Structure formats: structure tokens, C-alpha cells
Structure 1
Amino acid sequence: MTKLDSNTVPSPARSTNDVGPSINLGLSYAIGAYFIWGLVPLFWKQLAYVNSIELVVHRMLWSFVFVAAYVLLRQDWKVLFGYFKDKVLIRRLAAASILFSANAAIFIWAVNSGHLIETSMGYFINPLFNVTLGVIIFGERLRPLQLLAISSAAAGVLYYVFAFGAVPIIALSLALTFSVYGAFKKSISIPAVHGMAIETSFVLIPCLMYLGFLEWQGVGVFGNDLKTDVMLALGGFITLMPLLLFASAAKIISMTALG
């Protein structure tokens, strides 16, 4: 398999003294992202009465609103439009957008349908997929202790799968979509907030069309209850923050460390 470059543009050389702090910063970003993701199911459970697809659409729409507002305040629009000249970059961002949308849809549906065990299993399996992609795509090497830790985790996952008594389709789908999403994010060198602005812009029109259709049918939830409206908007911010942390971490540390 052809290896994917982790940077599309050359990066400035860093001194040895910069490596330690950079890695620590990357790990801090990753820990922050995973910590938030560990708590967000409690938030989404409060919106269980909202149709899963409609909820995902609102997540993407409000994520765009928040990131677009930030880019507008920073007056970065010209920089953003300049990225569209790089066709490889745009293809990767489009793929990342599709992967995250699929992952978000599976996650929301699984949580609100009561598949909490499989959902948890998916994010337990995810690090193994990250490590696998890191080795295969980015040519990362595992140290003996890392290999031992990964082997132990893999054994635990296999035991978990056998105890579950069936092929965990939901868990595997969550793990695979998010790991591949992480690989694409690692291969994209632009600032995380710019990447998220472009990713969410790809689904903006479909999101608006879908919500418009729901309103036309009179079945949309937005605008009927202030609490729901606020929570839907807040859901965009909650979606965006860990993704920005994760994308920032992916640029700094290896997929193995990210796992």
C-alpha cells in the first residue's frame, strides 16, 4: 500500500528541545479530546427524543456556524478559499467530512437506541485500528513495550467480542470510520480550525435542505421549544471542540500515540 504523507507542505525544522514540549502538547490535546468524548453521551442522551438523522444534521450545521464565526472574526476567509486550489487537500477534507458524518450518525443512533455496550466497545477497539493504520500507512514502528501493550489490548478486545456473542457491527463501524478519519486528519497540514471549516461547509447545503424539508413537513423540532433549540446549538460547539483538539493532536503525535 502506498504510504500517505503526514504533511502536504514542508514543515520547518525543529530543535531537539522542541520535540518534548510538542509531544506533550499533542498528548494533552488528545487527552482533552477523549475526555470530552467520554462525557458527551450524557449530553446526547438528553436529546434522545430528537430523530437521530435530524440530530446529526444539527450537529454538523451548528458546528459550521461556530467555526465559520471564528474564521470570520479572524478574517481568514481569503486563506480558506486559497486551499481550494489544492485538489489533493480538498479531496482529503471531503473524505474526512464523509467519514465523520457517518461516524456521528452511527454514534447518535446507537446511543439513542440503547446500544451502549457496542458503542463503548467501538471506542475501545478504536486505538487498535489507529495503531494498525499508523504502522501500515505512515510506517510507524512499535517498541517492544508498545507491542506488548497492543497485544494485551487486542486479547482483551477478542475476549470482549466472544463474550458479546456476535459480530459487533456497530462497534467495528465506529472504530473503522473514526480511525480512517484520524488518518486523513493526520495527512492534512493546514490549521485544524481551517480544516473543520471546510469539512463542515461540504455538508452545509444538504443539512439546510434536509432541515428545510422537515420544516415544510411540519415535523422539525427546531423552533418549537427554547430548551431544545439551545441544546441543539450547543451540540454543535460540543461536537466541534474535541474534533479541533483531536485534529491538532493528530498533526503532532503519531497514530500509535494517538491510539
Structure 2
Amino acid sequence: MTPLRLGYLYGFGAYLLWGFFPLYLKLLRPAGPLEILAHRIVWSVVFVALLLAAMRSIGFLRALARRPRALAGIAVAAALIAVNWGTYIYGVNSDRVVETALGYFINPLVVVLLGVTVLRERLRPAQWAALGVGGLAVAVLTVDYGRLPYLALTLALSFGGYGLVKKRLGLPAAEGLFVESAVLALPALGYLGWLTLNGDAAFGHVSAGHTVLLVLAGAATAIPLLLFAGAANRLPLTNLGMIQYLAPILQLACGVLIFHEPMPPARLAGFALVWVALIVFTVDAVRHTRRTRATARAKTQTPALAPQ
């Protein structure tokens, strides 16, 4: 199998798992969102530690310990991903899967906005148009909900910020996830201990199947991230960007078709505006990439002038 085909296989695998993740989270009830989040963190550490031990990659910790700025960046990334995970779990288990899907639809637009505000990047006209349509979509959805779609915005901003920090850190997927989860593991264990002492823990008190599902939350977190890393290393960024819409499409389908969440006309109009913004954004990205490649090819094919 060629690296490109393997990249597509990894990419589709990652986004399919993320797309159907609401179905898994629903199975973890009656555990509350914070308990689920704590188990997700703790078992992620265990799963990735075993994986790194099998890969004999534990030695990276010694090198990382000598980089205090990198450790500070990892702490920021850990806080952002904890907010993202916790918000998503809360959204799914409070029957707001549609709004969580919206968060991942608008995430690419938030990433562009972060590029302008944080990295001082200059946008092309089509990108400005996509941001404008995305802003209009948020306004329409605010009117429909009677409030800001704060779950969607929190998910998009936290994941966009997480991606920005991760890009600057440049850590491999497994190693990065291990350290981020390890940073959060102590408070997570403390919270689980407090729940157990007060008799409020669902872990071990619902059924054997429920306990196993909570333990498997670590693998369910790590596997899609590792598949995504494999895809990112093999696919062009534009191709990977096209595949990323698979996850929120599947999440939206779960919310509407399986969980029967409402989708009134005004909400549908807001989502339609988001999709228009994404189409403009994606078409512009594809055209820009093709022009850049064509220019690069033209430069390499232009014969050098013979010396006079």
C-alpha cells in the first residue's frame, strides 16, 4: 500500500471514530461529565504509557525535563484540551450533540481567525469572506437559540488554541498526549478519589460493562489521535482539511437522526451559512495550493541562462 493510500486510511479511520464518538459517550451515563473526563484523562495516561513502553520511547521524558518553556507550553495545551473534552462530554450527555457538531464545523474558521490575531497572518479576500459568512451564521444561530451557541464556540476556540500551541511545541502525537494527560492526571485522580469517598462514583457501581467502557475511554481517546498523526504525516494539508468535515457531519447525523434533537428552520439556516463559509474557505485553500505548486514547478522547469 502506498503512503498516500495509507494516509487516507488513517485519516478516514480517525474522523470516523471522532464522528461516532457521541454514541460511545452516551453509553457512559449515568457517570457525570466530570467523572467521565477524569477517567478519560487517567486511562489515557495508562494506555499511552503502555504504548510508549512497547515502542521504547520513554526516554524522551528526560530530554523534555530540560526544556522548561516546552513544559509550560504543554501545561497550557493540557488545560485547553481538558476544557475541550469536558465541554464536549457535557454537550453530548446534555442532549446537545447538534451544537457540539457546530463547534467542529466552525473550528477551521476559528483557526484562521487565530492566525490573524495571534500570528499576524494576512488573509486573502476569500478567507475574509468566509469569516464574514461564519460571523453571520453565529448571529443567526444566536437568535435561534436565544443565546450565544457557547458550547460550539468553546469547543472551536479551545481546540483551535490547542492546535496553535501544539504546532509551536512540535511534539509527536503519542508523546504529547502522554505528557498532557500526565499533567492533568493528579487532579483527575484526586477528583475520582473524592467521588469514591463520598459514595458518588459511578465507576464500579453500575455494571461490569459500564466499568469496562470507562476504562476503555483512554484507548478511545488515544487511537483516533494516533491515526490522525499518521494521516498528517502522509497527506497534503488540503487533502486532510477536506476529510476533517467528516467528523462533524457524522456528529450532526447522530444528533438529528439517532438522538432526535430538534433542527428548526432557523437553526438549519445557520448551519447552511456555516457550510457556505466552509465551501468558500476550502475552495480558496485548494486553488491557492494549486497556484503555489504550479509556480514552484514553473521555477524549477525554467532553464538557467547561459553565462555570456
Q: 1:247 to 1:86 in 2, by over 3 A?
A: farther
Shift of 1:181: 0.7
2:217 paired with 1:235: yes
Q: Specify the alignment match of 1:52 in structure 2.
A: 33
User: Which of 92, 104, 107 is 2:73 aligned to?
Assistant: 92
Shift of 1:140: 5.0
Q: Specify the alignment match of 1:188 in structure 2.
A: 169
Q: Aligned-pair RMSD on alpha carbons?
A: 3.0
2:119 paired with 1:159: no
Is 2:33–2:90's contact at 8 Å kept on the other side of the alignment?
yes
2:102 paired with 1:116: no
Q: Specify the alignment match of 2:19 in structure 1.
A: 38
2:199 paired with 1:218: yes
Partner SS, residue 203 of structure 1: helix
Shift of 1:229: 1.3
Partner SS, residue 212 of structure 1: helix
Q: Specify the alignment match of 1:65 in structure 2.
A: 46
Partner SS, residue 127 of structure 1: helix
Deviations 1:113-154 (A, max 9, x none): 122332222222222101212344345555555555555444
Q: Specify the alignment match of 1:9 in structure 2.
A: none
Structure 2: how far apart are the matches of 1:186 and 1:154?
25
Q: 1:160 to 1:249 in 2, by over 3 A?
A: farther
Query: What amino acid maps onto 1:182 in structure 2?
Result: G
User: Which of 77, 80, 84 is 2:61 aligned to?
Assistant: 80
TM-score, scaled relative to structure 2: 0.67
Q: Specify the alignment match of 1:18 in structure 2.
A: none
Deviations 1:60-111 (A, max 9, x none): 1111111010111122222222112111211111111111111111111121
2:113 paired with 1:125: no
What percent identity do the matched residue pairs reach? 37
Higher mean C-alpha displacement, 69-78 vs 138-147 = 138-147
Gaps of 5+ in 1: 1-20
Structure 2: how far apart are the matches of 1:181 and 1:250?
16
Matched residue pairs, number? 236
TM-score, scaled relative to structure 1: 0.78
2:180 paired with 1:199: yes
Q: 1:189 to 1:249 in 2, by over 3 A?
A: farther
Structure 2: how far apart are the matches of 1:188 and 1:142?
24
Structure 2: how far apart are the matches of 1:250 and 1:188?
16
Is 1:125–1:157's contact at 8 Å kept on the other side of the alignment?
no
